[in-house]
Amino acid sequence: MSTALKSVRSIAPLLDRILVQRVKPEAKTAGGIFLPESSVKELNEAKVLAVGPGAMNKDGQRIAPSVQPGDKVLIPQFGGSPIKVGEEEYSLFRDHELLAKINE
Amino acid sequence: MSTALKSVRSIAPLLDRILVQRVKPEAKTAGGIFLPESSVKELNEAKVLAVGPGAMNKDGQRIAPSVQPGDKVLIPQFGGSPIKVGEEEYSLFRDHELLAKINE
Amino acid sequence: MSTALKSVRSIAPLLDRILVQRVKPEAKTAGGIFLPESSVKELNEAKVLAVGPGAMNKDGQRIAPSVQPGDKVLIPQFGGSPIKVGEEEYSLFRDHELLAKINE
Amino acid sequence: MSTALKSVRSIAPLLDRILVQRVKPEAKTAGGIFLPESSVKELNEAKVLAVGPGAMNKDGQRIAPSVQPGDKVLIPQFGGSPIKVGEEEYSLFRDHELLAKINE
Amino acid sequence: MSTALKSVRSIAPLLDRILVQRVKPEAKTAGGIFLPESSVKELNEAKVLAVGPGAMNKDGQRIAPSVQPGDKVLIPQFGGSPIKVGEEEYSLFRDHELLAKINE
Amino acid sequence: MSTALKSVRSIAPLLDRILVQRVKPEAKTAGGIFLPESSVKELNEAKVLAVGPGAMNKDGQRIAPSVQPGDKVLIPQFGGSPIKVGEEEYSLFRDHELLAKINE
Amino acid sequence: MSTALKSVRSIAPLLDRILVQRVKPEAKTAGGIFLPESSVKELNEAKVLAVGPGAMNKDGQRIAPSVQPGDKVLIPQFGGSPIKVGEEEYSLFRDHELLAKINE
């Protein structure tokens, strides 16, 4: 999805949506040798940039999201809404679609 | 969908529906050069024109919509009901289908 | 759907159903020139003729319909049950399927 | 569906089911001329013959059906369970499938 | 479905399941003439042989089944689990799938 | 599904799952004559080997399973998760999928 | 799914997700003879490595997961999200997808 936004910071997710950016795979080996692009796999790790206020339960109360901005998370292989801001790609997931938090 | 309406202002969305108009992409570059139409991508940004009173929860109370007229929002790539008023195109989404608010 | 009814007034919608009649597009231009039939598009505007008492919520109470007889509404492109009374066509929608009220 | 019943009166619908019989179209015009069978359309009007006690809500209370025996109703174009008793055909609908009551 | 059961009486339906046996159509006319098999239609009438204790509602209470052993019922054209005991065929339906009780 | 388990006794079903083993059809007639394999039909009878603690209802309380180890049950024609332990085959069903208890 | 994680220990499952690793089949017989790879079947047994805090019920309370780290479980034949950390493969299941605990 295209946008004409100047900064991803202007995106405030609604309800239980979580804005993330995929971690980019290293383009060179630990020893400093550049890898051919075909051998670099897309990772399912992402960094949380912004979280919505949470979906509302039946009593009209917000369900707190499971993650916070700055968290690193495992994202599912499929799903999510891709968003392009400038040359960078981001995704919006629903809170319950995120698989795990990554503690480093 | 066709209408014979004279103004989009006469549309008052029902329940949790949100009336938006897509932001049109710039047809020329920052430097003032006109872009060929094929290189102008449709944006997923939209401006909220009108919001319904909100869906009703099980206790018969309205769930307040997440956005207000004048808000800028990210809309999903698919879905929504297209409406044509005169030569302009608009869309109706349900409140929970909107992805994010855009704070500028 | 065919009926042998003499008048559409005899139809009393059940539960949350709303009886509407589509607004017919003008067959001639503002200047009085008749339009060829092929250039006349079916409109998604309709007039509410009768409303059901409303669906029942879990506590056995009626959910009041969102519209009243005489209201003009935007109807979705698909769905609804078509009914023919004499030579005229009508439709029955569920209350939540109506997109917007039209305030003129 | 075939039955060996002697009378349709022996059928007592269960839960929210409504037993109806379609109104048969007039086989001759108002002026008394018989119509060729191909020009006689099946009608979506039906007479209510028997109603079930109503489905049960979550609190174990019966939801009263919307129609009573003797009512004339609009039935949907599809759905319902056809039942044959002798040479006559009947249908069982769920209460919420009936579109409208017909007040004559 | 095959079983090695000696008697259908040993089947005690679980939850809201109802064990029925289809009524067999008369193989001869009222006048005593045997009908060719092709003209004998399968009937949608069945006799209730055993009923389960009922499904449980959200409060953990049993929902009493709508029918009792010995009742005659109208069964739907499709659905149900067929069971064979010896040479006889039976079916298990869920209580809410039964269409009507037959009062003779 | 393959396992490297030494005994089926080590399987403790979770939630509302029920571990059963299909009853094997007699391979010879009552008179002692061995039946050709093609005439031996798979039976839909099974013996309950172990039951889970029950699914949890909305109030966080366990819903007691309908059957106990040692019970004989009718299992549906389709569904269930097959498990192989050594050369023997077992199945896991959810409690509500079991059709009936068999009282012998 | 690929990750650049250094250790599977950094994965903290969210909500009701359970991180497991499949038990690897023995590559040699009890007598010490190596088996050809084609005769080694993938097992449906797995070891629980980490469990999420549990999904939330309608009252906003966590539903405790059915298993604990260190438990051995039967996993379903399909489903789950595969994750690769280094050369090892892991899976994330939802708590209710696990079939049984294995008591050794």
Domain ranges in chain C are 8-102
CA distance G4 to chain F (A): 31
CA dihedral for C69, C75, C81, C86, sign (positive or negative): positive
Q: Which of C42, C58, C76 sits opposite B81 (nearest CB)?
A: C76
The strand pairing partners of A8, in sequence order, are none
For residue C62, pLDDT beyond 70: yes
CA distance A43 to chain G (A): 5
Cβ pair A10:B104 closer than 8 A: yes
Here the ipTM equals 0.86
What are the pLDDT digits (tens) for E18-27? 999 999 887 7
Which residue from D12, D15, D52 is facing E103, i.e. has the nearest CB?
D12
Q: D81 - beta bridge partners? A: D92
Give me the pLDDT at residue G38, please. 63
| A44 vs G3, G13, G19: nearest CB | G3
Question: Does position G94 have pLDDT exceeding 80, yes or no?
Answer: yes
Q: How confident is the model at residue B21 (pLDDT cuts 50, 70, 90)?
A: very high
**CB contact, 8 Å: D96 with chain C?**
yes
Note whether E touches G: 3 CB pairs or more under 8 A.
no
- In the structure, what pLDDT confidence band is assigned to residue G31 with cuts at 50, 70 and 90? confident
**How many contacts, defined by CB atoms under 8 Å, are there between E and F?**
62
Rounded mean pLDDT of E34-48? Answer: 79
- Cβ contact (<8 Å) for E96 and D15? yes
* Average pLDDT of the residues in D39-56: 89
CATH topology of domain D8-102: 10 Kd Chaperonin, Protein Cpn10; Chain O (2.30.33)
The number of beta carbons lying within 10 Å of the beta carbon of residue E21 is: 16
Label residue A103 by pLDDT band (50, 70, 90): very high
Q: Rounded to 5 degrees, what angle do the CA atoms D19, D22, D25 make?
A: 170
Please state, in angstroms and rounded to a whole number, the distance separating the CA atoms of residues G86 and G9: 12
Cβ–Cβ below 8 Å for B12 and C101: yes
Closest listed residue to residue D66, CA positions, set F60, C40, E57, C55: C55
Helix, coil or strand: residue D101: strand
How many A×B Cβ pairs under 8 Å?
61
Judging contacts by C-beta atoms under 8 Å, the chain A residues touching residue B63 are 56, 60
- Phi then psi for residue A9, to 5 deg, are -65, -20
pLDDT for residue G96: 96
Nearest Cβ partner for B11 among C57, C58, C74 = C74
Residue D36's pLDDT band (cuts 50, 70, 90):
low
CA distance A69 to chain G (A): 15
Please state, in angstroms and as integers, the Cα–Cα distance from residue A63 to each residue in B73, E89, F56, F58, following that order. Answer: 22, 52, 21, 17
Q: For the segment F3-58, what is each residue's pLDDT rounded down to a tens digit?
A: 889 899 999 999 999 999 999 887 777 677 776 666 667 889 999 999 999 998 87
Which residue matches tokens 């059906």? D65
pLDDT at G39: 62
pLDDT at G73: 98
The shortest CB-CB distance from F99 to any of E56, E60, E81 is to E81
CB-facing half-sphere around the CA of F12: CA atoms within 13 A? 10
E73 → chain D, closest CA residue: D11
- Across the range D51-56, mean pLDDT stands at 94
**Is B13 in CB contact (< 8 Å) with chain C?**
yes
CA distance E35 to chain F (A): 32
Task: Report, at the CATH architecture level, how domain F8-25+41-102 is classified.
Answer: Roll (2.30)
More confident: E100 or A35: E100
List CB contacts of D64: < 8 A, sequence separation 6 or more. Answer: D54
- Which pLDDT value is given to residue C22? 95
Contact at CB, A25 and G13, closer than 8 angstroms: no
C41 touching B, CB under 8 A?
yes
- Find the mean pLDDT for residues D18-42: 78
Report the neighbours of F using a cutoff of 3 or more CB pairs below 8 angstroms: E, G
Whole-number percent of chain B with pLDDT over 70: 92
**Nearest of A84, A80, A72 to residue A96 by alpha carbon:** A80
**Amino acid D42: pLDDT:** 82
pLDDT band of residue A37 (cuts 50, 70, 90) is low
Residue F8: exposure state from Cβ atoms within 10 A (0-12, 13-18, ≥19):
middle
Minimum-distance CB partner of G2 among A42, A61, A104: A42
